[in-house]
Structure 1
Amino acid sequence: MASLGEEASDQIKVKILAQDSWTKVSCPCCVSDRVEPLVLIWLTDKVQPLTRKWLISLIEDSKRHGGAALLAHPGDDECGDVIVVSASRCNLLKATEDLGLCKKYQDGDMIPFSYQDRDNFSNVDDMTEFLTLAERQYIVKNELDSLQAQKKQKIPGIGDATGVLQAWENVCQKLVKAGVIKDIFPLHDQQKLKELGKKWYSGKQIWGQPLDEIHSYFGGTVAYYFSFLDFYTWALVPSAFLGLFLTFLMPGGGSSVELGDVEDDDGPSVSGHMVQAVFSMLWSTLFMEFWKRRSSSLSYRWGTLQLSEGFAEPRPSFHGTLGINPVTGRMEPLFPEWKRQLRVGLVSVPIVGLFMGLVVLGMTGFYYGEALAKGFHQDSDSWFSKGLLYLPSMVHIVYTNMLGNVYSTVAMQLTEWENHREESSFQNHHTTKVLLFTFINNFAVLFHIAFYKQDLPMLRKRLVSLLILTQLLNQFTEVVVPFIVDRFLSDPQKDQPEDEIEGDQLRAQTSLPPYPGLFSEYIELLLQFGYLSLFSSVYPLTAVFLLLNNVTEIRGDSYKICKLFRKPFSAPVSDMGVWQTAFEVLGFVSVMSNCWLLLLSPRVQEFCLEGGISSKNILLFAILVEHVLILLKMILAFMIPDEPDWVRIKREQMEFHSMQALVRQKL
């Protein structure tokens, strides 16, 4: 990081806020005393002044002539490797309507913004109040991504074949491939970031996060993650108390937790194991249903209840035959939906299935190798044979890691090849592929121990070891590593005085690494949810471990995104997308998992043997209980609406208002 900071130090020596260097606007309502720097385009060292000037003119030019109609600041540094971009008021307002964002109307209600009716919306004259910082920066990114060549042309200053821009090819994507653009990222507002940090990770409260401030500064995707993390952590409290009660306070609780010990006849007829299993199934259902209600409330509050991504510009890497979009009437690449579905069904699904099979094959090979090593050790009983006992585990770890790395590359390439038009569709398909692999890779061994070997004591030991290892690893990565990085490895210029010139603040931001995204954070929560909902009946203290971990997780994640990385772009979203579906699927699988764990419980089996119940009747009873609980889960999901009544009414009012506005336009 230090070397990167030194390199940037030589490159960026400019006071960005020089007013006379910004693009001049002709619209009277867009004239401002100060232009707000929103996005930085960081160019590589070899960029020619001619190329840089051409890119600035393209950013500034009107959309009618193929430009982005944005405001650009060229900088005054000698190397010319930085372009700062902003947007005028009118362009921000038009983009707000295109995105389908809801804003506060003069009567106080949130309704979809209309540019023609803009004067009747609150704070419409002040963009810093009307739009959040994250929304303004995302709009600039969206406009930059929409830059497409109107015709085949040569990029000035690039002499080789990489400088040829094909008709309707994405400009920014081409410039990245050609080695012109190093990175594009939103700029931090140091004052706002400092105030947010005081409320977020520097405060004394254990729970409770400034979600509105997080949404305003970092955007929808980040705000939804931290909102879900906060909601999930609170939801762990009753499960943790139940686990403590069953383990330490319930009569016979110790014997019910120790599944291999069923000699205590003084315990209750319904063991703590059974109580925990039923509770886990009901808890997972209620948790997801109440989260959906919480999510819809946030969506209304943050103005994303009626996003219109389908009418937005295509993804930068989307390609197809040039034509007119029948919905929007705009000229853009078109790609038939049937062809995309064909690619998914005939290519992507079989390849993903092949990798799932390789995971199962690796697990089978591990157990086979483990059996061979144990047999060889029993025959020879030497130091060499004792060392071989660890070989199957080591080979399996190396195999799964290599397979995971290969699969992550294949999953990304497959999703790109499927050619999705919208960014959300691309992310959903990519996430689904990775989730399937992650689920099989992390839970296959647990399912094998539970339902094939039917060794619940081994399952309990495996689960405890996973929880302890995860706890220690998370504490190290969430607390120790961020402290070391921030204290000893970060750029010493990261803490700039408030009166420091803007160029030095940019220098500090370019020295930080890009934010890796929330994918791994969601995966971690999904694995937690799986351990709790699927297998906590064999170890009731699971929720206690997860609760302790998540208390530090909130602070650690917030500290990292504020202090250790560049600010990420964050799109307006109305929910967690495919992640919400993944949690719901796990909740459904938990019904079957817990029913069969109950069937395998030594206490239940002992009770059935004492009652003279045959194995066939036990199986039929388990299937009956499973179906009853699934039906109960569906009834609960049906009885608890996904939206509170007030959100449903507001949504219907939005639809009515939109219909009335359309009628007025036709008149």
Structure 2
Amino acid sequence: MAFVSDETSLEMDEISEDGEVIVSDEMEQTIMPTYGTMQDNLPRTYTADIVEFNQNEDSLYFNDNQRRIDYVLVYEDELLKEQLKNTKKGVLRKQMKKRQAYESGLMKHGLQLEATRAVSDEKLIFVKVHAPWDVLCTYAEVMHIKLPLQPNDLKNRRSAFNWFTRCFSVSENIIKPEQEFFTAPFEKDRLSEFHIQDKDNFFTPATRSRIVQFILSRVEYAVKDNVKKFGINKLLDSGIYKAAFPLHDCKFNVKSSDEKCPNERYLLFREWAHPFSFFKLQPLDLVRKYYGEKVGIYFAWLGYYTRMLLLAAIVGLCCFLYGYKSQETCTWSKEVCDPNIGGQIIMCPQCDLRCNYWLLNITCESSKKLCIFDSFGTLVFAVFMGIWVTLFLEFWKRRQAELEYEWDTVEFLEQEEQPLPEYEARCTHVVINPITQQEELVPYTTFGKCLRIAFCTSAVLFWILLIVASVVGIIVYRLSVFLVFSSSLPKQTNGPVAIQKYLTPQTATTVTASIISFIIIMLLNILYEKVAIMITDFELPRTKTDYENSLTTKMFLFQFVNYYSSCFYIAFFKGKFVGYPGDPVYWFGRYRNEECDPGGCLLELTTQLTIIMGGKAIWNNIQEILLPWVKNLVSRCRSSGAERFMPRWEQDYHLQPVGKLGLFYEYLEMVIQFGFVTLFVASFPLAPLLALVNNLLEIRVDAWKITTQWRRMVPEKAQDIGAWQPIMQGVALLAVVTNAMLIAFTSDMIPRLVYYWSFSVPPYGNHSEPTMQGYISNTLSIFEIYDFKNESMPLDQPLFDRMTCRYRDFRYPPGHEHQYEHSIYYWHVIAAKLAFIIVMEHIVYSVKFMISYAIPDVSNETRDKLKREKYLTQKILHERQMGNIADRYWKTDNVLLSKLD
């Protein structure tokens, strides 16, 4: 483990039988003058001295107003808990000793501590942590943190759209632009080469918090059975500490009067998180400075995705309006609604025994709605979205490269990112590094790594199959409940009443199945999150980026199946393998396969997407706004009896803690939405518009939440959006296939085109244009009701004493030598569908790859800046080093000359 100590570091003397670190008399005497006296009733381990609050509620410093608070630890004083049982005192005492040993370890690594009792609850103790200059320098070198060498003198090229950007950007008089510097990994021995104007401000608050968090996660507090116990995370999980967080710099709605406070949180709330700022561009540089690069890159990606959705939303709205207007000329819809055509066509029952015959014209309204979504505009929009998603991903790569340069994270993964402390603690096997050709420690052998990967893959596949099993269970439920509801209807002979009753079972089945499916999805989400974290912990990734990427992949695979399985079922399976009335297909030999709604599966898929996207967006936004606000309100009410002045650390403690996964769920929510926007957009061209409206609100809700309702995140660096980038690329490739198959197999576009060009009969001679007249009658097959099997024969007689009924398929009629077999029309349609899929995929993929090749991931301007900065940085370091060598030789020569004289 990469622990650092200097000449003034203190060594632990011994370890007790319980595994706690004990401080020696010599160490106690050494630290006593600096940090105060020991409490009389505590064991001989060091604990931070408790001082009185100085009533300065805006202060970000110790009571001396000199040492900055870089981190805060919170625990509950066990000695003040009332009515303790004897069985609990031993546990509490062990916790107390572990905490004291941990604080001693923090002291050993040079951190300074000051404890203060809470104003609102005297049992709460706040331990303020300060990292002195020497500690910051030491660990900045250990962590390879890049720090300023000299101001950047490269001129930025002005874009032609700068005037547009300035119109919607925050004024530079309000948020001053950050000065850019050439940077290099910090080295303590070359301190003079770095741009240090003020020691107090050389390390930004974000950098100071990163360094302190690095130390907190690696300090030991116990050794038991030769196993080291270390890190603030384990102490938080065990309840020894109640919270650990860096401080916000001020209140979000009131500007701090302290001259030392930069009031960045106040500026972020007013210019970024406030609802009235929705039209402004995000102040990403300030977001990055205050919350770190990881949060900054998320909001940069979300903002870029939202701006790109604007183009897709406009095109989608135009396609929707085109489809809406085409209802007036939709011939096949008119035939369905015509009482002399659709009103005379009797359709076969869609279940056995108790299902009734029904008239085709009951689908009049749904057929009109289907004309909106199942039109030529949908085809154009599906091709456009295949190209749009490529443009979005390629241009985002360029934007991401610009941010890597501007935020100085180009070489973060190679130079700055440190191994996780859990990984370092288990490094026991020696291997040869293929790059350095030197020995290094790893936690497992190659064989052990293969076993871990095999186990984790099997666990993930098991849970995915569990979701598939739940989907199959829901389908079986739908089939059985539909049969129960249908069989419970009384026998009807009146046509309209029978039709009205016929719709009741489907409605009841859909509602109950949706509720059960929602409950199962939520339960599996809760369970799988814990399982995914356990699996990833077992994998033991080397760095936090590796850990997050591995967890992201597992969670997305699960959520992909969980959220999209019902849509894939409706789009590609429901109503596709149902047989025909005389020989229906059964599940498990008992349940008759489910057919599409009378309006068709495409309209049902559109309805499903509308409900899922709209409902999910509304629910998530209400949850993100209401839940943290209510929790914080309850917390404030509990502390309402406190004194008027509450210190900054106590105000932050009453905010909501940031989850261990940080912004993971925000990414997941947006990428799931990205899937809905791209995978099934052929059935719902308004999806980008809904996503755009949601995202405009989502940006401000997320900003409001982390600025006003959450404790301050530990600022972390990130080079890019991680595993989400290849996930979106995979979704983009899959979207071309799904949309092509939607148009081919779920919509009626291909059968209509085949009929239009091949089977329609011109009404006025051979030279006139073909029409869609007669399409409905031509595409409905005929079935003789006496050919029903006994187990599926309807109990009701057909309406108007007809001996035949119609069903959706392309089969030969009764009396034909190949009766009930697929007709030539069916094979023409299948050939046309397959040809359409191949042609559309090849066209879209060809355009996508040409666009990807034509748009480089890094722009020439950014590439030149990177090369120029690298050159100038090396030149600066070389010249300064040569200057130092020359100065040494000059001083040496002068000394020799003076001696000779």
**Is the pair's TM-score, using the shorter chain for normalization, greater than 0.5?**
yes
CA spacing shift, 1:472–1:396, aligned 2, 3 Å: closer
2:554 is aligned to 433
In the alignment of these two chains, the number of paired residues is: 624
**Structure 1 residue 602, shift from structure 2 partner:** 1.9
Q: State whether structure 2 residue 731 is matched by structure 1 residue 586.
A: yes
1:273 partner amino acid? T
The equivalent position to 1:626 in structure 2, one of 833, 836, 841, is 841
Task: Please tell me the residue identity of whatever aligns with 1:60.
Answer: M
Q: CA RMSD for the aligned pairs?
A: 4.0
Counterpart contact for 1:99–1:309, Cα < 8 Å: no
Q: Distance in 2 between matches of 1:205 and 1:450?
A: 40
User: 1:336 and 1:558, CA in 2 relative to 1: closer, same or farther beyond 3 A?
Assistant: same
Tell me the amino acid that sits aligned with residue 604 of structure 2. Answer: M
8 Å contact kept, 1:359–1:441: yes
Deviation at 1:442? 0.5
**Does the CA contact (< 8 Å) of 1:98 and 1:312 recur in 2?**
no
Matches of 2:439 and 2:105, distance apart in 1 = 19
Equivalent runs, 1:255-294 vs 2, <5 Å: 271-294=376-399
In the alignment, the residues of structure 2 paired with residue 490 and residue 520 of structure 1 have an alpha-carbon distance, to the nearest angstrom, of: 24
| Structure with larger RCO (C-alpha < 8 A, sep 6+) | 1
The corresponding residue for 2:524 is 403
| Larger deviation, residues 205-214 vs 301-310 | 301-310
Match of 1:172 in 2: 232
TM-score normalised over the length of structure 1: 0.82
Cα displacement string for residues 240-290 of structure 1 (whole angstroms, at most 9, x for unaligned residues): 1112222225785558999988899x9999811011101111111111111
Aligned mates of 1:281, 1:20 — CA distance in 2? 57
* C-alpha distance in 1 between matches for 2:438 and 2:219: 14
What displacement does 1:332 show? 8.9
Distance 1:117 1:362 in 2: 62
1:113 to 185, 188, 200: 185
**Structure 1 contact 148–170 (Cα < 8 Å) conserved:** yes
Structure 1 range deviating more: 625-634 or 166-175: 166-175
Q: Look up the SS of the partner of 2:421 in the other structure.
A: coil
- Over residues 27-64 of structure 1, what are the superposed CA-to-partner deviations in whole Å (9 max), with x where a residue is unaligned? xxxxxx72210111112332767665543332122xxx
Output the amino acid matched with 1:125: D
Indicate if the aligned counterparts of 1:165 and 1:171 stay in contact, CA closer than 8 A: no
How far apart, in 2, do the equivalents of 1:403 and 1:365 lie?
Answer: 14
Q: Distance in 2 between matches of 1:532 and 1:540?
A: 9
Quote how far apart the aligned CAs of 1:414 are.
Answer: 0.9
Q: Does 1:637 align with 2:852?
A: yes
Q: Please name the residue that 1:72 is paired with.
A: 113
User: Which secondary structure does the structure 2 equivalent of 1:82 belong to?
Assistant: strand
Which residue of the partner structure matches residue 307 of structure 2? 234
Kindly indicate whether the alpha-carbon contact (under 8 Å) linking 1:251 and 1:267 is maintained by their aligned counterparts in 2.
yes
| 1:84 maps to 2:128 | yes
2:269 is the counterpart of 1:197: yes
The structure in which a higher percent of residues are helix is: 1
CA distance in 2, matches of 1:309, 1:142: 18
The structure 1 residue matched to 2:214, chosen from 142, 161, 174, is 142
The answer (yes or no) to whether the contact 1:256–1:262 under 8 Å persists in 2 is no
CA 1:521–1:591 in 2, change beyond 3 Å: closer, same or farther?
same
- Out of 694, 704, 720, the position equivalent to 1:549 is 694
Q: Which SS does the other structure have where 2:73 is aligned?
A: strand
Please point out which of 756, 760, 771 is paired with 1:610: 756
* Equivalent residue number for residue 30 of structure 1: none
For the pair 1:39 / 2:71, whether they are aligned, the reply is yes
Q: Counterpart in 2 of 1:7?
A: none
| Residue type of the alignment partner of 1:198 | R
> What SS does structure 2 have at the residue aligned with 1:611?
helix
The one of 591, 611, 618 aligned to 1:472: 618
Q: Residue 122 of structure 1 aligns to which amino acid in structure 2?
A: H
Match of 2:104 among 39, 57, 60: 57
Do the aligned residues in 2 keep the contact of 1:70 with 1:85 (CA within 8 Å)? Answer: yes
Alpha-carbon distance in structure 1 between the residues aligned to 2:544 and 2:332: 48
CA drift at 1:170: 2.1
**Distance in 2, Cα, partners of 1:268 & 1:538:** 6
- Could you say if the C-alpha distance between residues 391 and 542 of structure 1 is closer, same or farther in structure 2, counting changes exceeding 3 Å? closer
Over alpha carbons, which structure has the higher Rg? 2
> Does structure 2 retain, via aligned residues, the 8 Å contact 1:309–1:422?
no
Q: CA deviation at 1:378?
A: 1.6
Inter-partner Cα distance in structure 2 for 1:368 and 1:93: 65
Query: Shift of residue 189 of structure 1?
Result: 0.9
SS of structure 2 residue aligned to 1:181: coil
CA contact (8 A) 2:679 2:735 kept: yes
Unaligned 5+ residue runs, structure 1? 1-10, 23-32, 62-67, 155-163
* Partner Cα distance (2:658, 2:832) in 1: 55
Supply the distance in 1 between the matched residues of 2:269 and 2:307 (Cα, whole angstroms).
22
1:530 to 655, 675, 680: 675
- Structure 1 residues 388 and 229: alpha-carbon distance in aligned structure 2, compared to 1, 3 A threshold: closer
Equivalent-residue separation in structure 2 for 1:531 and 1:242 (angstroms): 17
In the superposition, the TM-score normalised over structure 2's length comes to: 0.62
Give the SS at the match of 1:36.
Answer: coil
Cα contact 1:56–1:74 (8 A) shared by 2: no
User: SS state of the match for residue 638, structure 1?
Assistant: helix
Distance in structure 1 (CA, Å) of the matches to 2:377 and 2:531: 45
Cα displacement string for residues 163-217 of structure 1 (whole angstroms, at most 9, x for unaligned residues): x484654243554465432222111111332222111123733231111111111
Deviation at 1:437? Answer: 0.1
Q: Contact 1:257–1:272 at 8 Å: present in 2 too?
A: no
Instruction: Identify unmatched segments of 5+ residues in structure 2.
Output: 1-49, 79-91, 153-180, 251-262, 334-365, 491-500, 577-600, 759-827, 886-901
The Cα offsets for residues 295-343 of structure 1, whole Å up to 9 and x where unpaired, read as: 1211221121111467754323224244779669999963136246414
**Closer, same or farther: CA 267–448 of 1 in aligned 2, 3 Å:** closer
% same residue: 24
Taking the aligned partners of 1:258 and 1:533, their CA distance within structure 2 comes to 30
